[in-house]
Structure 1
Amino acid sequence: MIPDWLAELVTGTDDLDALLPQRRVVELPMITRFRGITSRQAVVFRGPAGWSEFSPFLEYAAPEAARWLAGALEFGHRPAPEPLRDAVPLNGTIPDCSPDAVPGLIARYPGAGTFKIKIAAGGIANLDTDLARIRAVRAHAPAARLRFDANAGYPLAAAQQLCVAVAALPEAADWLEYIEQPVAAVEDLARLREWIADRGLPIRIAADESIRKAEDPYRVAALGAADVVIVKAQPLGGAQHAADVVTGCGLPAVVSSALETGIGLRAGALLAASLPVDAAAEAIFAGPPACGLGTGALFTTDIIAGDTHRDGDDHLGGGLLSAWRAEPDPELLAAHTADAETHAWWDARVRDCLSELRRQV
């Protein structure tokens, strides 16, 4: 079942101009390949509550992409969560890259005190390459805290091998926050976490795909499968459901992006700023956790120009993202608008997702 307000919205009209007013499909080039792509497409629109974004990855079928549409409609048509803080700290993101590329990528995140490093793109066979990338980040950002994201890239035995290798890195207990989704199945996450505890390794486990792609995201907590949960506003169907998942799991949460434009990143920032920081989170992060919302640095340009609510405050400046809605810059929006064929493809996709949401009414 979907919320009453969403049911009323999606069944009330077939007019996309009413559901997604002033919509525009944009395509942003990227500075490096990330998730196998070199440009990012998104639908941005101006709803009654402000600008929002619908941007499921191209390979996602309607049942999964429909959750993203629910999240986009929520941010465009409903009030955002009330923030407890004016801004949230950001982590930098280091994609699957050569160690030589690391210094330039770090430089794109001025002020960041935490970095998330992508690993496991080549499975355990690429462990030495992944460790070289980790060492490069340690060398060029020695004071930073680190996270590793495996995107469910290992079987259980390989994840255990990774944990042994990571635990052997110098002073790992001092700078390693967690390894994110090393294995796919939530049951294997639980087995891995128990195996780590039995050996006293200084490693925490975070769950991402086991939260946002799961029919029951609460199984992560029920099985004791993670120390931290990763939540993403748009993929989880909106900030309200994401916040409910955090409360229901009862675990420290890190809000991350789904490689959105600056419009979509603000939905994540408002969600993150609305979450209280409890003692368990303080023990891991020593304050509000750094959010994975700095991925705009992976684009050569964005469709927003700085912070539209606070003059002179760049939206990625000082390792912070302000918890305010953003609006597109008209010139940047025009420069990155996709062609008519791409618009038609996305309109068809929106209609497929609307049909999926209506089936849930």
Structure 2
Amino acid sequence: MTLPPLDDLLATARVVALPMAARFRGIDVREALLLEGPEGWSEFSPFAEYDDAEAATWLAAAIDWGWTAQPAPVREFVPVNATVPAVAAASVPELLTRFDGCRTAKVKVAEPGQRLADDVARVRAVREAMGPEGRVRIDANGGWNLDEAEHALHALAEYDLEYAEQPCATVDELAQLRRRIAYMGIPIAADESVRKAADPLAVARAGAADLVVVKAQPLGGVRRALGIVADAGLPAVVSSALDTSIGLAMGVALAAALPELPYDCGLGTSSLFQTDAATPPLTPQGGVLPVGRVAPDPARLDELAASADRRKWWTNRLARCHAVLAASG
């Protein structure tokens, strides 16, 4: 990767703050820094709690997407799932209407401060709304220990789970859980054990997952994520990192370039925003997203502009992560 000068990045940088339709990952407003490169608009939006070393990988992805031609797609549309935050069960039907035509729903579970009973009620509501033909998967974000995960999956198994994403935090726990619940027929997907790991292939070598969840920004871009999937030798689901429509297009490009795409992808998350930086936003229509780059609406950039203090915070972060990339050669 050729690193553009910092001044070139700062020249087009726009920081936006997108209000959420429902609280997600503990946030009500999603901030992102958008950049325009020779190939088009790109996005740098690591979550606020990530340190500069981790966030620099997201910047590498943003630069790769905005400054480099991408692998050719093998499909024109990517099927996507609905995403259900840790909302009350009564809110599920209305929330699902935001995801036009989606035949799969991913349900957040193991939310801090909630109980297993809340998860069961939410998953039951999703199954009822999706009907017997719909696909329901859960995502615990590593929130359970080994015994909690086994107990929870027993409680949730009656809702015919497509798979359980990151039920435990560590690779060793995932491997043990996979052995314990083999008779239940619920596949295990690894997310954080791939994108936040020093060795993203360790989970595959340990036999700790049946499939991997990959995200373009956290893994350093489309090409690097494609390499990880190929080396892991496991089926892959492409998911978002709560990107704006500009960043979601990067994820769609990743999904479109995979040789095989056996699962619906978690790229419909623009539907969780009240408004987005693009007009129209990249939201599911008939359960799919089109392949192609997305540019922000200039009027939206002005309407959604973050405060001066937050812009300074993001541009300072951009400068620090640029320095990390420069130092790494």
Deviation of 1:195 after TM superposition, in Å, equals: 1.3
Question: Per the alignment, in what secondary structure is the counterpart of residue 83 of structure 1?
Answer: coil
Name the CA distance, whole Å, in 2 between partners of 1:79 and 1:315: 24
Provide the residue aligned with 2:111 in structure 1.
121
Name the CA distance, whole Å, in 1 between partners of 2:69 and 2:10: 16
Provide the residue aligned with 1:283 in structure 2.
none
Number of aligned residues: 328
Match runs of 1:1-361 below 5 Å = 5=1, 8-9=2-3, 13-15=5-7, 18-122=8-112, 126-142=115-131, 143-167=133-157, 169=158, 172=160, 176-197=161-182, 200-277=183-260, 288-306=262-280, 315-361=283-329
CA distances 1:93-143 after superposition (whole Å, capped 9, x unpaired):
0000100110111110110000000000137x7111100001101111113
Question: Per the alignment, in what secondary structure is the counterpart of residue 300 of structure 1?
Answer: coil
Structure 2 contact 268–283 (Cα < 8 Å) conserved: no
Deviation of 1:20 after TM superposition, in Å, equals: 4.9
TM-score of the two chains, using structure 2 as the length reference: 0.96
Name the CA distance, whole Å, in 1 between partners of 2:71 and 2:243: 19
User: What code does the residue aligned with 2:264 have?
Assistant: A
Structure 1 contact 208–230 (Cα < 8 Å) conserved: yes
* CA RMSD after TM alignment: 1.4
Name the CA distance, whole Å, in 2 between partners of 1:333 and 1:289: 33
Deviation of 1:224 after TM superposition, in Å, equals: 0.3
Provide the residue aligned with 1:280 in structure 2.
none
Structure 1 contact 51–326 (Cα < 8 Å) conserved: yes
Name the CA distance, whole Å, in 2 between partners of 1:191 and 1:20: 47
Name the CA distance, whole Å, in 2 between partners of 1:66 and 1:153: 26
Structure 1 contact 21–47 (Cα < 8 Å) conserved: no
CA distances 1:254-296 after superposition (whole Å, capped 9, x unpaired):
000000100000000010011011xxxxxxxxx6421101110
Deviation of 1:343 after TM superposition, in Å, equals: 1.3
CA distances 1:179-220 after superposition (whole Å, capped 9, x unpaired):
0000011111111111122xx112100000000000001111
User: What code does the residue aligned with 1:162 have?
Assistant: A
Deviation of 1:253 after TM superposition, in Å, equals: 0.2
TM-score of the two chains, using structure 1 as the length reference: 0.88
Residues 201 and 288 of structure 1, relative CA distance in 2, 3 Å threshold = closer
Residues 267 and 14 of structure 1, relative CA distance in 2, 3 Å threshold = closer
Q: Which runs of 5+ in 1 are unaligned?
A: 278-286, 308-313
User: What code does the residue aligned with 1:316 have?
Assistant: P
Return structure 1 stretches of 4+ with deviation > 2 angstroms.
Answer: none
Deviation of 1:21 after TM superposition, in Å, equals: 4.3
